[in-house]
């Protein structure tokens, strides 16, 4: 986990090798933990999801998801962007082998409501 200051607002970047997200219970546990960490941008490794399965990552507090996958349930990376992050994708390169996704972006943080 890393913190950075963008435009006067603190942001939280998380990188995590999840070793597969095919099971709904594990996906729920990962999302619950990411919310506890107050993650703004998340970089997931080894998602092991097929292209058709990446829709399972949508929902919750992460509204933009970019991913690269392989043609079997191995490899795979995903970048999750929290709904409080104003994200403008300028360019994306997705590796056909499911090893990386490169994103050129413009990030702006909105204030988070803390209760």
Annotated binding-site positions for Mg(2+): 17, 46
The pTM of this model reads 0.75
**In tens digits, what is the pLDDT along the chain, a chain of 115 residues?**
555 555 556 778 899 999 999 999 999 999 999 999 999 989 999 999 887 887 888 878 898 888 887 776 778 888 898 988 877 777 777 777 767 776 766 665 555 544 4
Is residue 19 left, alpha or beta, with left meaning phi > 0 and alpha meaning psi from -120 to 50? left
CA distance 59 to 31: 10
Residues 6+ apart with CB under 8 A from 4: 10, 11, 13
Q: Give the integer Cα–Cα distance in Å for 85 and 6.
A: 11
Task: Strands of 18-111 (E only): list them.
Answer: 41-45, 62-68, 77-82, 85-94, 101-109
- How is domain 2-109 classified at the architecture level of CATH? 4-Layer Sandwich (3.60)
Domain borders along the chain are: 2-109
Which residue numbers belong to the known binding site?
A: 17, 46
């Amino acid at each position: 986990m890393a913190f950075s200051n963008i435009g006067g607002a603190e942001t939280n970047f998380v990188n995590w090798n999840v070793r597969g997200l095919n099971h709904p219970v594990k996906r729920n546990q990962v999302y619950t933990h990411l919310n506890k960490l107050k993650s703004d941008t998340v970089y997931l490794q080894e998602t092991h999801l097929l292209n058709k399965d990446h829709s399972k990552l949508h929902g919750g507090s992460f509204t933009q998801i970019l991913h690269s996958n392989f043609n079997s349930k191995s490899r795979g990376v995903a970048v999750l962007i929290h709904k409080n992050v104003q994200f403008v994708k300028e360019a994306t390169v997705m590796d056909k082998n499911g090893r990386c996704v490169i994103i050129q972006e413009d990030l702006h943080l909105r204030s988070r409501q803390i209760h």
